[in-house]
Amino acid sequence: GAGVSQTPSNKVTEKGKYVELRCDPISGHTALYWYRQSLGQGPEFLIYFQGTGAADDSGLPNDRFFAVRPEGSVSTLKIQRTERGDSAVYLCASSLTAGVTEAFFGQGTRLTVV
Amino acid sequence: AQKVTQAQTEISVVEKEDVTLDCVYETRDTTYYLFWYKQPPSGELVFLIRRNSFDEQNEISGRYSWNFQKSTSSFNFTITASQVVDSAVYFCALSEAKGGSEKLVFGKGTKLTVNP
């Protein structure tokens, strides 16, 4: 597709369950970023991939959060033992190269933990 | 630590009015980048502008203009002759230039409502 695609668009899960959120970046973009946006707040950085490797995961809140990008394209954000505080919109972005080039964002996955 | 402050939580104007969205940033880096993004109700962040710390020239793009002043650590955004389609949440953001990461630090956003 032409833009960054995120699936599902909405996800409701029970507390304690495991969830996976998927991001399809723009074709050819080597850099991929995950952000989390809580209601009424700006997005907060979680993790950044350059190719297949996580170049910066300093924003992951704890070890329940993990992300992979095994083939350097699609990325999956994984959350174990979900908590109600994990409820937020999870945004994915990609850019052509690493560095401060323009990042294109997807529409996000709204995660609700009940 | 880096920080971005958007003091205006919400602004409401009538169509055709000019409106300025304020952004103040804090950083100890000498090289950094500033951004503005628009987030319409659909939720997708739309890139508007990127400016590096060495370029203090103001920029105009159609009805949009940006005023970057390092002396006051501000990067304000003005919409001239606002339109209803400008209604959205606008975010100012700052990035660290080292390490090759576009790790953005966002402000809390300003919700702009343009009424007909």
pLDDT above 70 covers what percent of chain A? 96
For residue A63, what are the contacts with CB-CB under 8 A and spacing of at least 6? none
Q: Does A57 touch chain B (CB under 8 A)?
A: no
- Which chain B residues touch A if contact means CB-CB below 8 Å? 4, 33, 37, 42-47, 50, 52, 91, 93, 95, 97, 99-109
For the purposes of burial, counting CB atoms within 10 Å of the CB of B5, is it exposed (0-12), middle (13-18) or buried (19 or more)? middle
pLDDT score of B74 more than 80: yes
Contact: B44, A44; criterion CB under 8 Å: no
For residue A39, what are the contacts with CB-CB under 8 A and spacing of at least 6? A88
Q: Tell me the per-residue pLDDT of A61-105, one tens digit each, with 9 for 90 and over.
A: 999 999 999 999 999 999 999 999 999 999 999 988 876 578 899
DSSP 3-state of B84: helix
